[in-house]
Amino acid sequence: MKLFPGVEETIEGVSHALRTGQRTCVEVTEACLAAIDAREDELHAWTVVDRDGARAQAEELDLDLGQRHWHGFLHGVPIGVKDIIDVAGLPTTAGCPQLHSEPARSDATIVARLRAAGAVIVGKTVTTQFASFDPAETRNPWALDRTPGGSSSGSAVAVASGMCLGALGTQTGGSITRPATYCGVAGCKPTYRLVSLHGVVPLAPSLDHPGPIARTVTDLAILLDAIAGYDRRDPESAREPTPAVLAALEESSLRPPKLGRLRGPFEDLAEAAALEALEAALEKFKAAGAKVLDVQLPGEFNSLFRCHRMLMAAEAASWHEEQFRQHGEVYAPSIRQLIEEGFGVAATEYVRCRRHQSRLRRTLQGVFDSVHALVCPATTGPAPDRSTTGDPAFNSPWSYSGLPTVSFPIALSPEGLPLGLQIVGRDFAEADLFRVAAWCERTLHRELAQT
């Protein structure tokens, strides 16, 4: 599928051009700043654009390149950061500037890692208030009357509209995959705790996942490689060996996968357009040698949505309690309702849901004995209107169970809005997951190139 009209550059391509001296970091950054100048007034993707800072970073990175000191694939690549993630010197408003306007004193670990990998931090992208469900001012570049999705609204829009080449988002329900899909770009929600949460405002820590948004699976891999891995400042981050995802994507290592299709009541949550796009993609995969098996979800799936909501409510309520009691009036309706719900949850119910969560996570590992990955629509349909941030039903199961996902655009709906495919992998097996996703994406691209 073509990316958003006029926006075709990838991190991979730009990185090559920078490394081989065809472009400079300053040029690449200026192109993004120009895109921001051109469209920010109508899209509202940013809370702050650090023009001077971005230019200064780019200049310094050009000097490094001149001295043949290449920091890696992100060297000179402009990146946006969701505004619940700390960037030193810029405020972290978490979508609530009334209460939070102090500049962050230091970078979140994942921002520091991006910088160390050579990224240019362009600024902070709009989040819904406290990363919950209340629509922000941000518009979908494909249709200004549609939601860009949430809560990583600005990150998805900025990537889709050429304002940066990649962005950081976070997902507690469907906050990476959904906006990425609605905006026609790719998203990755990594395995729970593969990526440090240090310096990230929590919504519900047992469900919170930072992850990248970019234009292709390869670009997601480059970003994930930079941010993943144990962080001493977040002792609950996983001590797994960090996957080398990009290295796993060499053409020669990609094989037609065995895909598990989640039939039944779960898949039926999708609208017709999303199901048709899925069917069409699966047919192309099969034609290229993939196997597609029907997979039954475990019984635990039934109470998943109720438990997911209960964990999110209780944890959000606990986190916000003091501030909510003092400044309840500034809370938007959806987050307010969530917090009030959370005050009514008993610890025994909460603990029961945590147990359900960990049982489901365990049960789901068994699915991967027979398939390489699961596939389902990335969202229930194309972006709805701006009264909502859309339905996270295809995303929250993975936020809840912690399994890693990759999504990317596969088709346009009849009204010309992007639809995506979501691929779900085994815990901490990001290298395998990305191999499957890259094979699927390249198969569709080859198909398109031939037609």
CA angle centred on 96, ends 94 and 99, rounded to 5°: 110
258 labelled catalytic? no
Q: Which of 50, 315, 430, 432 binds a copy of itself (CB under 8 A)?
A: 315
Q: Which of 160, 214, 227, 238 binds a copy of itself (CB under 8 A)?
A: 238
Pairing assessment for the beta strands 418-424 and 405-412 based on DSSP bridges: antiparallel
Mark whether 291 is an active-site residue.
no
Give the nearest distance from C-beta 358 to a copy of itself in angstroms.
6
Please report whether residue 205 would count as binding a copy of itself according to CB under 8 A: yes
The length of the chain in residues reads 451
User: Can you tell me which of 232, 251, 252, 450 binds a copy of itself, judged by CB under 8 A?
Assistant: 232
Q: Kindly name the residue from 132, 151, 153, 161 that is annotated as catalytic.
A: 151
433: Cβ contacts below 8 Å, ≥ 6 apart: 373, 404, 405, 406, 423, 424, 425, 426
Minimum distance, C-beta of residue 64 to a copy of itself, in the bound complex (Å): 32
**Given the residues 15, 82, 153, 413, the one annotated as active site:** 82
Q: Kindly tell me which of 4 and 319 has the beta carbon lying closer to a copy of itself.
A: 319
Q: Could you count the other beta carbons within 10 Å of the beta carbon of residue 289?
A: 11
Q: Which residues contact 174 (CB under 8 A, 6 or more apart)?
A: 149, 379, 390, 391, 392, 393, 394, 395, 396, 399
Site mask for a copy of itself (CB under 8 A), range 293-312, x = bound: -----------------x--
> Judged by CB under 8 A, which of 117, 167, 194, 314 binds a copy of itself?
314
| Closer residue to a copy of itself (CB): 32 or 304 | 304
From 7-15, 66-74, 182-190, 230-238, give the range in contact with a copy of itself by CB under 8 A.
230-238
CB 274 within 8 A of CB 419: yes
Minimum distance from residue 238 beta carbon to a copy of itself (Å): 7
The residue (of 157 and 339) whose beta carbon lies closer to a copy of itself is 339
User: What whole-number distance in Å separates Cα of residue 347 and Cα of residue 310?
Assistant: 11
Which residue in 279, 321, 385, 415 binds a copy of itself (CB under 8 A)?
321
Nearer to a copy of itself, 300 or 349 (CB): 349
Cβ atoms within 10 Å of 21's Cβ, excluding its own: 9
- Applying CB under 8 A, the site for a copy of itself has a residue count of 32
Among 66, 97, 235, 264, binds a copy of itself (CB under 8 A): 235
Which of 30/340 has CB closer to a copy of itself?
340
Contact criterion met (CB below 8 Å) for 88 and 104: yes
Its sign, for the CA torsion 390, 442, 372, 225, is negative
Least distance CB 109 / a copy of itself (angstroms) = 13
Q: In the range 366-425, which residues lie near a copy of itself by CB under 8 A?
A: none
Nearer to a copy of itself by Cβ, of 254 and 353: the residue is 353
Nearer to a copy of itself, 16 or 239 (CB): 239
CB of 369 to a copy of itself, least distance (A): 11
Whichever of 211 and 342 has its CB closer to a copy of itself, that residue is 342
Q: Annotated catalytic residue: which of 175, 396, 399, 413?
A: 175
Minimum gap (Å) between residue 417 Cβ and a copy of itself: 38
Look at strands 291-295 and 258-262 and give their pairing. Answer: parallel
Residue window 257-296: x/- pattern of binding to a copy of itself, with contact defined by CB under 8 A = ----------------------------------------
The Cα–Cα gap between 444 and 192 comes to 29
The one-character DSSP state at 405 is E
User: How far is 390 from 44, CA to CA, in rounded Å?
Assistant: 18
- Interactions with a copy of itself, residue window 325-364 (CB under 8 A): 342-343, 345-352, 355, 358, 361-362
Contacts of 34 (CB under 8 A, 6+ apart): none
Catalytic annotation on 175? yes
Residue carrying structure tokens 């809005």: 417
CB of 350 to a copy of itself, least distance (A): 4
Angle, CA 404 vertex, CA 150 and CA 129 arms, to 5°: 20
Choosing from 208, 267, 427, 441, the residue that interacts with a copy of itself (CB under 8 A) is: 427
CA distance 142 to 64: 37
90-184-187 Cα angle (round to 5): 60
Quick one: 387 exposed, middle or buried, by C-beta within 10 A (0-12, 13-18, 19+)?
exposed
SS3 86: coil
Cα 104 to Cα 31, 94, 200, 329, 364: the distances in Å are: 27, 12, 11, 24, 39
Catalytic sites, residue numbers? 82, 151, 175
Interface with a copy of itself (CB under 8 A): 205, 232-233, 235-236, 238-240, 310, 314-315, 317-319, 321, 342-343, 345-352, 355, 358, 361-362, 365, 427-428
